[in-house]
Amino acid sequence: MSLLELQDVEVTYQRRGRAPVRAVAGASLTIGPGEIVGLVGESGCGKSTLARAAAGLLAPSSGRVLLHGQPIAALSRRARPAREVKLQMVFQDPYSSLNPRRRIGSQLADALRINKLMAPELQRARVIELLEQVGLPTDAIDSYPHQFSGGQRQRLAISRALAAQPEVLVLDEPLSALDASAQAQVANLLVNLCRELGIAMLLISHDLAIVRQIADRISVMYLGVVVESGPTEQLWTDPKHPYTEALIGAIPHADGLGVKPRALRGEVPDPAEPPAGCRFHPRCERAFGKCSAAVPDLISLDRDHAAACWLHDPEQAPQPSPLKDAAGDSH
């Protein structure tokens, strides 16, 4: 049973005097309890838009977002329905997501107060518990955000989301503003929270290498569509979509071998005018006739592993041979 389910979600932004942009052009995802699903892609691929739709911050123009099988209502001027409080979001920049002029304790207590989770006299004890949960000293309660480093602030942002005792956390680039050592701390914290509290997480990131360390499953997005999804190790060692393969090949390795990462030719096209057929075909080294003519569906190749690529269509592919192992041959 999936906790959060996105069914064919589309998000279109209207622009005055110009063609609308379909930032997300039909994406489906499911996340089960205690599962971390990574959503990976480059800037402009629609991953943050999808994250906002998943958290109910904006309404999909078509498709549905289900929490416990019930469609969620996009945030409006009125309060969220109580059951949607179980769906929380953490943002990229812990400098702008915390109020610089209020003490940490009162910012965390807000979450308890607004959601009427407990009596005021019990709130302080709960705030201390929340700080401990994310590995911060309890005297942080009387401090201001500027007294903390980036990594600590991100922990504070996470603890505020935890105040609502969420079942699902949507995290939009929670690690990318952080230095390497803080990044590892927060990444490990997320995994622990997920395992200990059974929270389901949707982790949005541009960094496939870090997502691979923490996610159970990964979906790769390109220009508004999911092009591949599968269990983390399977997707990493045996990518089925040329874009996933290119993403893996572009990661620089800190192994001292001096291997140059591989660049991907061309650039991400304007999402307002996506290429016909497979959206990746102008940059794909394996593209053939069919790719520019027809849109490939996301088809299941091996249990949970699915890819949207004509290479895997037995009737269409010029060479039926599977993609070579990208991770193995990159040296």
Partner 1 sequence: MSLLEVENLRVHLPGASGPVTVVDGVDFAVEEGQVFGLAGESGSGKTMSALAVLGLLPRRAQVEGRIIYRGRDLVALREREMRSVRGREIAMIFQDPMTSLHPMLTVGRALSEHLRQHLKLSRADAQRRAVELLEEVRIPDPEGSLRSYPHHFSGGMRQRIAIAVALICNPSIVIADEPTTALDVTVQAGILGLLDRLRQENGLSVLLITHDLGVMSSIADRVSVMYAGRIVESGATAEMMQRPRHPYTEGLLSALPHPEAGDERPLVAIPGSPPAPTDPPPGCRFHPRCTYAVDSCRTQVPQLVEVDARRLACPVDPLAVKV
Interacting residue ranges for partner 1, rule: CB under 8 A: 42-43, 149-152, 179-185, 187-188, 206-210, 212-213, 232-233, 236, 246-248, 250-264, 267-268, 327, 331
Neighbours of 251 (CB within 10 A): 14
Q: Would you say 205 and 173 are in contact if contact means Cβ atoms under 8 Å apart?
A: yes
Q: Rank residues 113 and 212 by Cβ distance to partner 1 and give the closer one.
A: 212
Query: Shortest distance, CB of residue 140 to partner 1, whole angstroms?
Result: 13
Query: Shortest distance, CB of residue 287 to partner 1, whole angstroms?
Result: 16
The set of residues, in sequence order, having a beta carbon less than 8 Å from that of 314 and lying 6+ positions away, is 320
Q: Rank residues 91 and 236 by Cβ distance to partner 1 and give the closer one.
A: 236
Query: Shortest distance, CB of residue 37 to partner 1, whole angstroms?
Result: 16
One-letter amino acid at 236 equals: W
- 125 by Cβ neighbours in 10 Å (0-12 / 13-18 / 19+) ranks as exposed
Query: Shortest distance, CB of residue 250 to partner 1, whole angstroms?
Result: 4
Closest to 230 (Cα-Cα) out of 286, 171, 305 = 305
3-state secondary structure of 19: strand
Q: Distance between CA atoms of 233 and 184, rounded to whole angstroms?
A: 19
Q: Rank residues 129 and 179 by Cβ distance to partner 1 and give the closer one.
A: 179
- 30 by Cβ neighbours in 10 Å (0-12 / 13-18 / 19+) ranks as middle
Q: Rank residues 237 and 300 by Cβ distance to partner 1 and give the closer one.
A: 237
Q: Would you say 167 and 88 are in contact if contact means Cβ atoms under 8 Å apart?
A: no
Query: Shortest distance, CB of residue 11 to partner 1, whole angstroms?
Result: 21
Q: Distance between CA atoms of 326 and 331, rounded to whole angstroms?
A: 10
Q: Rank residues 57 and 268 by Cβ distance to partner 1 and give the closer one.
A: 268
- Tokens for 163, please give them: 């105040």
Query: Shortest distance, CB of residue 64 to partner 1, whole angstroms?
Result: 30
- 328 by Cβ neighbours in 10 Å (0-12 / 13-18 / 19+) ranks as exposed
Query: Shortest distance, CB of residue 316 to partner 1, whole angstroms?
Result: 26
Query: Shortest distance, CB of residue 267 to partner 1, whole angstroms?
Result: 5
Q: Distance between CA atoms of 146 and 222, rounded to whole angstroms?
A: 36
- Tokens for 139, please give them: 């005297």
Q: Rank residues 164 and 190 by Cβ distance to partner 1 and give the closer one.
A: 190
Closest to 221 (Cα-Cα) out of 210, 229, 212 = 229
Q: Rank residues 60 and 242 by Cβ distance to partner 1 and give the closer one.
A: 242
Q: Rank residues 107 and 205 by Cβ distance to partner 1 and give the closer one.
A: 205
Closest to 233 (Cα-Cα) out of 213, 260, 253, 251 = 213
Q: Rank residues 42 and 110 by Cβ distance to partner 1 and give the closer one.
A: 42
Query: Shortest distance, CB of residue 78 to partner 1, whole angstroms?
Result: 38
